[in-house]
Structures are given as C-alpha cells and as structure tokens.
Amino acid sequence: PHDLGRDDSIIVEKAESFIKELQEQLETCNARADAASIMAEQSCARLEQKYISLSGQFTQIENEKMQLTASLDKWATELA
C-alpha cells in the first residue's frame, strides 16, 4: 500500500518548485523589458537632442548662405 499523503506532498512540492521557477523567469523577463524600455527612452532623448542641435546648425548655415548671397549680389551689381 502506497502512502498517498506522501505522494501528494511530493507532487505539491514539485508544483510549488515549478511555479517558483516560472515566477523567477517572469521577474527576469519583466526586469529585462524595463531595462530595454529605459534604454529606448534614453536613446530617443539623445536623438531628440541631436535633432535640435543639427536643426539649429542648419538654420545658422541657411542664414549665413543668405547673407553671402546678398553680399555676392551686391558685389556683382557694383562690378557691373
């Protein structure tokens, strides 16, 4: 005669161990997802800053181009 109580306790122990392992895997997965989300936000913020910087530089260069074009037109008129 088998001791059913002992068999049941072994099954419960294995189930609890399996559940604990799954919970640990879930926590690890959630931690990785959180880390990836933070990294994505930081990358996005860096890209936004780079865009703002480049946009400012582009505007400055466009202004310089307009000034140079105006000067060139003035000199061309004076030489004509």
For residue range 7-29, list pLDDT tens digits in order: 889 999 999 999 999 999 999 99
Rg (CA), the chain: 34
The C-alpha torsion from 34 through 37 and 41 to 47, rounded to 10°, is 140
The answer on pLDDT for 44 being more than 60 is: yes
Span 50-70, average pLDDT: 98
Check pLDDT > 90 for residue 42: yes
Please name the residue ranges forming H helices in 1-80: 4-79
Integer Cα distance of 55 and 38 in angstroms: 26
